[in-house]
Structures are given as C-alpha cells and as structure tokens.
C-alpha cells in the first residue's frame, strides 16, 4: 500500500512525496488507520521505525479537517516528550508534513527564552510539541490553555518514566478534557508502563512492532577489550585513522563527557559535548554543527540516543557501555540509518564485562570481538600525544631499566 491510497488530504500527500515518503513502515501501516478513525492507540515500537510520522500524518489530517469546516478551538493536539532534542526533532517532522494545510505547530522547550514561545501561543497554534517543564511553566502563567484539546500523544513514554516525569503526566490530566483521543507510544513495555498506559487510554488498539533483530542489519558491531584508563588513547587512534568520518561517542555521565573532550583537546582533536548541563542554545547549535558535518566528533550522554535523527554518522563509539541494555540499541541506532552502512564500536573494560553479557543477551547474539595483540595495544598507548601517557611511559621505562640493571651495592671500606 502506498501513501497516495490513504484517505488523507492532498496537501499531506504532496508533503509526504516531497519528504521522500513512499510506502508506510510497519508501525505507520498499523497505526494510521485506527488513529484516523479516532481510536486510542497503545503502540510499542523501537526508535527508527517511523513512529513520529505514524501519529503526525493522521493528527495533521484530523486538525486540518476541523479547520476546513471552520472549527477553531486553540490547541487541538499535544505531543509530550521527555527531551529537548526529541521535541525539536518531532516539531520539524510536523512542520514538514503540514505545509500548506493551514495547521500550525509550535515547539516549546525549557532552556530557551520563553518570549518567542509565548508570542507564538498568542498568535494561535494547533499542535504543541512540548517537554513537561516548560509546558507547566506556561500553563501556570496563563499563556497556555488546553481545555479544548482533541488528541494527546505521549511519545517515548518509557524514557519519560525513567526521567521521573510520571507526576507531570498525571498532573497534565487535570488540564485537558477527559473526552479526548490518546496515543501512547513507548519503545519498551513493563508492568509500570502498562499501568500508566491503561490509566490514560480507553479501549485502545494495541500495536507491537517487535523486529527479530532490534538493531539495523546494516550496522557492523564490534567490541574491543580496553582498560578504563586506556580508552582515550584508543579513541584518539580511531579518530586519527578515520579523519573524514563523523563519530558519535557515548559516555555514561556529564562529567565523563567533559573529561573525554579535554583528553581529545590535549591530542589536538576538536570535539563538542552534549548533555543536560548545557544551555539549550548551545545544545541546538552543537547538534546543528554535527548534523551538517562541520563538527566531526560529538561526545554525548544518553540524552542524545533517543529518537534523534542525525544523518551520515559513520561510527557510534560506546566509550562506556550503557548500564541499561536497551540503551545500546538506542545508541547504535544513530548510525546505519536507512540504506547507509554504519559501524558500532564498544570499548569494554574488565569492570564492564558483565554489562556486555547483558547486552548480548538482550540482542540474542554475541558481538564480534576486535582482537588487539599485546604489541599493538602497547603501541597505541606509547604513541598517543597525550602528555599524561607520556609521563606514564617515562616512569614505566625507568622502572624497567632499574629492574634490568639493578644498582650495585657499594662495598664497605675496610
């Protein structure tokens, strides 16, 4: 089935064609018809399956239809998401697919000046894409009313729960009509998510897209066993051996991201970091530079792993293995997008071997080991430009010399 066969407006069909959409993905094929009928949907689908368009297409069509018959009711659709980057990504999809439909979309996120967002709300908007914090800020200030809302979309619901947004979701229910359409999308399902979902939806259509391989087939996976303190030297080598490649590096914490960046700066490699301590303006600029290819190295925490479409990433490097196995899938999904090939390289220290086993269990397959012989390993450390390692090497060389040529004890004079 092609998109041109769907009962959606001609304008949306043209936009889909212009954006390169030809045939629906599995999640789009299963979700669009019931959403068009006004039914609630509970969908479990991994990132990269096309779920944003799965709800954007029918929601835009529905709101366009209401506007065409003269119904004006303020904010008709709300998409609530866990992160700033995901909000920006989803907003861009809505803007692209709603051209010439008369449907207006506004993204509101924290960390940015709220004045332009307030101005956009005053002028009127149909669809709101928002993170919880700024959403409640503007609602409490009286700039945002959602009492006429027709459809609520919760995207990446599992990630929202991980970030502690369950209270925000429950509080939102007091601001919107009970009679509404609810679309609940999550990458994973467990008892906690089920309980939340069924408290929000009514007789939902259940959709579950469970690919046999949770990661794309065109990604080459490998793991290298590298001690924690040696990882930066191997990252330096990987970057230097692939100077034209776009490389996305994932680390576990914000502090670690900055340390890795400084380590790369010491060896004359320029990189940027992205994490929750960064101002939104800086995060947006960094993502733009990385997407365009002007910046080749981006060091990130898992905030960037969910739902962000970054074109032409050649390597994803798991500098630190993710503690949650599912996050491996979200991370490596940033490469090998569409028909492109990608490489996922993981650095595994002795302390992380149990985590590796959990990831392989989740993937239901072993990750191929990138063998590094002792001489090659030693050379990588010896030839790094990092002064820290040069000092370490000097000390080790002195220790070796002392062991090889022990000092002779002076004979006591008689």
Structure tokens at 302: 């898992």
Q: Is the pLDDT of residue 164 over 70?
A: yes
CA count, 13 A, side-chain hemisphere, 140: 8
DSSP string for 164-204: T-HHHHHHHTTTS-SSSEEEEEES---HHHHHHHHHH-SSP
Find the mean pLDDT for residues 44-71.
Answer: 86
Which whole-number Å values give the CA distances from 125 to 15, 165, 182, in the listed order? 20, 25, 19
In this structure, what are the phi and psi dihedrals at residue 204, rounded to the nearest 5 degrees?
-75, 155
Structure tokens at 203: 């007789």
- The neighbouring-strand residues paired with 202 are none
Residue pair 295/286 in contact (Cβ under 8 Å)? The answer is: yes
Q: Is the pLDDT of residue 277 over 60?
A: yes
3-state SS record for 72-108: CCCCCEEEECCCHHHHHHHHHHHHHHCCCCCCCEEEE
- Mean pLDDT (the chain) is 87
- pLDDT at position 407, please? 47
For position 409, what pLDDT does the model report? 42
Kindly state the average pLDDT of the residues 302-320. Answer: 81
- pLDDT in the model for residue 249: 96
Overall average pLDDT of the 92-102 stretch: 95
CATH class name, domain 3-209: alpha beta
DSSP-assigned states of every residue in 312-327: T--EEEESS--SSHHH
Alpha carbons within 13 A on the beta-carbon side of 146: 27
Percentage of residues of the chain with pLDDT beyond 90: 56
Report how far residue 235's alpha carbon sits from residue 319's, in angstroms, rounded to the nearest whole number: 8
State what percent of residues in the chain have pLDDT above 70: 88
Mean pLDDT calculated for residue range 348-364: 93
Handedness of CA 357, 363, 366, 371 (dihedral sign): negative
Average confidence (pLDDT) over 182-205? 89
Residue 49 has pLDDT above 80, yes or no: no
Residue 83 backbone zone (phi > 0: left; psi -120 to 50: alpha; other: beta): beta
Q: What is the pLDDT of residue 106?
A: 95
> Where are the chain's structural domains?
3-209, 219-397
Give the pairing type, strands 205-209 and 127-130.
unpaired
Tens of pLDDT, residue by residue over 196-252, are: 899 999 999 999 886 556 666 778 999 999 999 999 999 999 999 999 999 999 999
Least confident segment among 5-19, 127-141, 207-221: 207-221
Q: From CA 389, how far away is CA 226, in angstroms rounded? A: 15
**pLDDT score, position 402:** 57
Task: Say how far apart CA 352 and CA 181 lie, in whole Å.
Answer: 44
CB atoms within 10 A of CB 405: 8
- In this prediction, residues 1-25 reach a mean pLDDT of 90
**Burial (Cβ within 10 Å: 0-12, 13-18, ≥19) of residue 240:** middle
pLDDT for position 35: 97
Q: Are 88 and 284 in contact (CB under 8 A)?
A: yes
Fold match between 3-209 and 219-397? Answer: yes
pLDDT of residue 10: 95
CA distance 240 to 13: 45
Domain 219-397: which topology? Rossmann fold (3.40.50)
């Amino acid at each position: 089935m092609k998109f041109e066969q769907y009962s959606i407006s001609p304008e949306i069909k043209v936009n889909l064609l212009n954006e390169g959409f030809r045939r629906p993905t599995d999640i789009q094929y299963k979700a669009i018809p019931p959403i068009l009928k006004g039914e609630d949907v509970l969908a479990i689908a991994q990132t990269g399956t096309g779920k944003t368009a799965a709800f954007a297409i029918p929601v835009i069509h529905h709101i366009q239809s209401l506007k065409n018959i003269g119904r004006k009711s303020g904010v008709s659709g709300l998409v609530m998401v866990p992160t700033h980057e995901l909000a920006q990504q989803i907003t861009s999809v809505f803007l692209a697919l709603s051209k010439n439909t008369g449907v207006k979309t506004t993204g509101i996120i924290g960390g940015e000046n709220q004045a332009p967002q307030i101005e956009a709300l005053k002028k009127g908007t149909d669809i709101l894409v928002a993170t919880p914090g700024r959403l409640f800020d503007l609602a409490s200030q009286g700039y945002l009313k959602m009492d006429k809302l027709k459809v609520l979309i919760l995207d990446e619901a599992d990630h929202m729960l991980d970030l502690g947004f369950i209270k925000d979701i429950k509080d939102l229910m007091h601001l919107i009509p009970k009679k509404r359409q609810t679309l609940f999308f999550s990458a994973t399902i467990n008892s906690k998510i089920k309980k939340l979902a069924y408290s929000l939806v009514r007789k939902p259509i259940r959709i579950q897209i469970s690919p046999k391989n949770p990661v794309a087939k065109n990604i080459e996976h490998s793991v290298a066993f590298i001690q924690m303190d040696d990882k930066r030297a191997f990252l330096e080598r990987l970057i230097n051996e692939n100077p034209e490649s776009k490389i996305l590096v994932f680390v576990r914490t914000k502090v670690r991201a900055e340390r890795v960046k400084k380590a790369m700066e010491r060896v004359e490699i320029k990189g940027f970091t992205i994490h929750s301590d960064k101002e939104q303006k800086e995060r947006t600029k960094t993502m733009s530079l990385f997407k365009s290819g002007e910046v080749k190295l981006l060091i990130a925490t898992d905030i960037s792993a969910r739902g962000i479409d970054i074109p032409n990433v050649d390597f994803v490097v798991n500098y630190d293995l993710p503690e949650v196995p599912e996050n491996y899938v979200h991370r490596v999904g940033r490469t090998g997008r569409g028909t492109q090939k990608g490489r996922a390289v993981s650095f595994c220290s002795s302390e992380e071997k149990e985590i590796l086993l959990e990831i392989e269990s989740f993937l239901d397959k072993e990750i191929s080991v990138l063998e590094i012989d002792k001489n090659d390993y030693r050379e990588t450390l010896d030839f790094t430009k990092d002064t820290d390692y040069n000092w370490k090497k000097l000390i080790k060389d002195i220790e070796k010399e002392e062991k090889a040529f022990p000092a002779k004890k002076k004979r006591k004079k008689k």
